[in-house]
Structure 1
């Protein structure tokens, strides 16, 4: 499968023989950035490294004879092929930054900006770069918190010891005071980020497992999302890969949606509550949207009813115990020889029309993160299937929390909206802040899990209807 193979090639490129070369190039590019003051714009540094490695690892005249190659020459040729396969995908076009900034300015208030925030890991040190896409202002700094300490925090407080391990027994983050320890991650942004600025966060390494939007920020010590709408983007090179899809999509046809809820026969009462919550949420979009629930959520129904939709809603179980990431899945209703697992490989085959995807399932936003911060999982597969945005959960969720989020976010995004567009990031912000306030600012397990992930310039800031 070409999309899956492209992702695998890109990730393979940074393992094994290439890892030390990757770190050496990382250091060189960081030194060059210090001297030239060129900004790293949300992991475009990774693209720069890919291009430089492509030029330095070519075998050239090293192989004098096809029949008399040394082991070193064979390895060099192999690495060159990996580079060619890995860098054959889209690399980030800087013009996209300005394109996104211009789009955001149409929906931001006076004096508000869009700010791209990128963390870069270099061995045990984290660097942060904040780039104001509206004014062009730039800030770089060192995070005063060693990377290995962050890893320890994640293991102790979230139960995550590796970003490649699949599901483990997760710990519940029940005390907001634990998040205070992570304030150094955001401290360099003080005085640079204003209230209501739009923040595009691009994490690095173990930061992918941390609810960055829930870390206290500012003099009042409230969560970052209380003052700023926040979206996550794993890589702007991935974003670039979707822009052409969105730009070429048909925006003239009516807005369509499909909703699915399934818990299983073990709890019919809660499954009925999930269906009722989804039906109430869909009413904000239109009266004719049917919710497929319970035993009706089969593979055939999921494929047929999600075809070419603009919004795909799923509330149910996610299967993450699979040893290989391609086998992780959404859990549908099993029928005959079908086990009901709709895997990552199956998701690649969906046909979505620049859709917003809402995945209210356990750890639906948890992806396998390669050393170069390239993700692979349910969300990456949805991106290649045509999704422009995804709302997902960072850890295993309670169905009651998911129902609460569901009803609120659709109300904020769609209520009273007959045409035009809606700032989706602010709808998510309002929802999370309301839940945070109802939990009295504590027990972040219930409200800090919901994240908005963006892949498309068109829906980076707003959700269009009709």
Structure 2
């Protein structure tokens, strides 16, 4: 084996196998069929992340234990360490078990066909024993694969694989393996096909295919799990079944608390009633037939409280009326309520928080104080029995109790505990989308926590919470690159270093968190002190200011539109964003007066939500744009800041230019005016490349040659990378367009099939360098500065993981040190002028990037007072 940074490889059959081969099932199967134990051990050592199981397998791997070893490894890695590797190992073991089964079966048949079969009784018995072990190994490896698929959120793949595995096991008389183990003293041996069936049920529930889940519960014979001989197995599987029932219960409970939108829709209500009834009945008949009398009561109550519900009833009142029925359902599916279990604990939490269904009781201190000890008891029970989601529900309910009784310290404590739990849960999940979705259940967590911390003046904790609320996609990218989960703790912990770091670099760090009604900000100054502010501008207000339908005429991000009339009838004009958003920076003015922030200082800021769309440098500060007082740069968060400042700041001496204009830029008109406009436009695309070519060495890829495959092969590291293209980004104003994900549907327009792209809009005729393509093709921008001389190239939009998804984000993730990008549809000639002035000051006059950027902005401001021309470009990343 040979290791070099991220590259790990080994030799097998005379060829070099790289780490990418570790997920190739056909290659791994061939390796473990080969008998080359040196290569097999090398593979395990190189491909498998460190674990105690890996060490055990390496110590005793031999020909007789290959299958068992692979299955043990598969089970270990399918549970969160590296699920894709676990699936590869599991499917390798599964396929090898199938082949071993066929080989062994053939030997048995040959022996039985000979006249001397009696002489081979011992050999036959050994082969039959080995066949039982092979069947069992195939079953266990199939379970590991199912766990891995589910951990990755690949539930359809899990169902498809498990269905085939169960068919194979039954066809190969898997029951004989169970009988063999019991005959050898393993009385708790269970039918693993039932475990696989449970995995299918879980996947159906995750896919919201409840009818199929219930049908499987109903059709399956569970009796083998409920025998005295396999009592331990019964307990284990009973827990699994209860967990599945609980998931169905959650769906029922959510539907009861949040019924169909129109309570007047009788048809929808009757359907809803039947769904609940059928679900509860199926569960009861399968598992608790002795309690069916209770089901009759539930059936009557559901009819009274769902079908016969008054049309005028409110959702809150309806929820309260359903409380007793919910309790009966819980008792019914948890064994009649005879023993305290998870469902009973959930019932305790639900009843303790029922006070919040009514606005009066929900703010009554006496009732709230009675609920607190019950919720503490429920939280502690859930924690002791490792029901993390139930513990989280209890914590959130406790937070509501404490916040409504003005017990801020206790409220902060339980929110921090909830946040810690969620971070740990995320860390154990491999699938990025499922991991990012963990926080969806508590959408107000970070907003409420930031509000409490800000009002309590707990500045360092507020900074930590703000940083933890952002950067989750960054964590997921790190997860993918490192093959191990990265928690928000690793993202927010650098916030502890920021006060010391800013003193070292003599700059300020400003971080924002935008909540629905307010924005929370923390400034870490160059002297290491922290300052906080709650700003009464929230997400709802900003989105209202940005909500204009006709983007061409009324895009509020474009300063030229400020003051334009949208509706004469309503006397509505496009808002002046710089004036409206001034409070975001005006709170810093007293710090300037006191000398904490000084003229010509630098502020590195981390935006949030829609603030990614807006340049801070044009906001008014002490009567003038902020850029008149300080230089500014943007960053993705504290982790990105720490990583960038750890690197040495270098000025590249090479360049790569990609310049692609559009079909429409090439004039087909005989008009002299049009011809002249076309020349000016194309010259603007060419000028920065020509300037760089005079100063540095490098390459220019232009026009129809600049397609996506060509760009993907360019040298993009340790240099100036300049893109002169048209750009596109999903609009916030157009309803259909706004649904597009900027990760997939934003970027730079490139040539395609030897043709120039159409102007300014993504289409099938254009190649697209999107954030997805930057990351997918692993474009290496390490140590480079990237300029995006393109429209809307600096825009970003928050995604599910809390990061701002956009092209600039992707470049920085792939190692770029800094970037220049635009906030609106820029004027081509002014964009070229900005780029050249910046390069002149930074590369030739030896100014820092921050100084070069600010002086360029101020010079252009002197040429035009209109912010459209001078405020378009923001600097991101390293400002040194």
**TM over 0.5, shorter chain:** yes
Give runs of aligned pairs for residues 346-425 of structure 1, distance below 5 A: 346-348=773-775, 349-370=778-799, 373-417=802-846, 422-425=847-850
- Tell me the equivalent position of 1:230: 632
1:203-249 C-alpha deviation (Å, 9 max, x unpaired)? 2222222221101101xx211012100011232234456677x47x9
- In the other structure, the counterpart of 1:266 is 664
**Do structure 1's residue 217 and structure 2's residue 621 form an aligned pair?**
yes
Counterpart of 2:713 in 1: which secondary structure?
helix
| Structure 1 residues 12 and 119, CA gap change in structure 2 (3 angstroms) | farther
Residue 363 of structure 1 contacts residue 395 of structure 1 at CA under 8 Å; is this kept in 2?
yes
Q: What per-residue deviation string (whole Å, max 9, x for no partner) do you get for residues 362-399 of structure 1? A: 11111121376411221222122211211100112121
| Residue number in structure 1 paired with 2:527 | 135
In the alignment, what sits opposite 1:185? 584
Alignment of 1:82-121 (within 5 A): 87=488, 90-94=491-495, 96-97=497-498, 100-101=501-502, 104-105=505-506, 114-121=507-514
Alignment of 1:307 onto 2:716: yes
2:702 aligns with 293
- The structure whose Rg is larger is 2
Q: For the structure 1 residues 334 and 173, does the alpha-carbon distance in structure 2 shift closer, same or farther, using more than 3 Å as the test?
A: same
Q: CA distance change for structure 1 residues 122 and 390 in 2, over 3 Å: closer, same or farther? A: same
Cα root mean square deviation, aligned: 3.8
Q: Which residue of 1 aligns with 2:449?
A: 28
Partner of 2:505, secondary structure, is: helix
SS at match of 2:444: helix
Equivalent position SS for 1:289: strand
Q: What is the Cα deviation at residue 272 of structure 1?
A: 3.5
Which of 322, 332, 337 is the matching residue for 2:750? 332
Aligned residue number for residue 37 of structure 1: 458
Residues in 2 aligned to 1:300 and 1:139: alpha-carbon distance in whole angstroms: 48
Question: Cα distance, 1:150 vs. partner?
Answer: 2.8
Between stretches 399-408 and 293-302, larger displacement belongs to 293-302
Cα deviation for residue 261 of structure 1 reads: 1.5
Aligned length: 392
Contact 1:231 1:453 in 2 (8 A): yes
Query: Would the aligned equivalents of 2:502 and 2:524 in 1 still touch at CA under 8 Å?
Result: no
Of Structure 1 and Structure 2, the greater strand share is in: 1
Q: Which runs of 5+ in 1 are unaligned?
A: 52-83, 106-113, 161-166, 455-459
Partner residue, 1:149 = 541
Q: Which runs of 5+ in 2 are unaligned?
A: 1-19, 21-81, 83-151, 153-426, 472-484, 564-575, 592-596, 667-678, 731-736, 756-764
Superimposed CA distance per residue, residues 301-323 of structure 1 (whole angstroms, 9 cap, x where no aligned partner) = 42333332422110111243583
Q: CA deviation at 1:98?
A: 5.0
Q: Does the Cα contact within 8 Å between 2:468 and 2:489 map onto a contact in 1?
A: no
Contact persistence 2:608–2:804 (CA under 8 A): no
What TM-score results when the alignment is normalised by the length of structure 1? 0.72
Aligned counterpart, 1:317: 726
- Alpha carbons 1:9, 1:86 under 8 Å: kept: no
CA displacement 1:315-337 (0-9 Å, x = unmatched):
11124358333333322221269
Match of 2:876 in 1: 453
Work out the CA distance in 1 between the residues paired with 2:469 and 2:790.
35
Question: Residue by residue, what CA displacement relative to the aligned partner does 1:285-315 show, whole Å, maximum 9, x if unpaired?
Answer: 42x3343322332334423333324221101
Q: Does 1:256 align with 2:638?
A: no
Partners of 1:436 and 1:444 within 8 A in 2 = yes
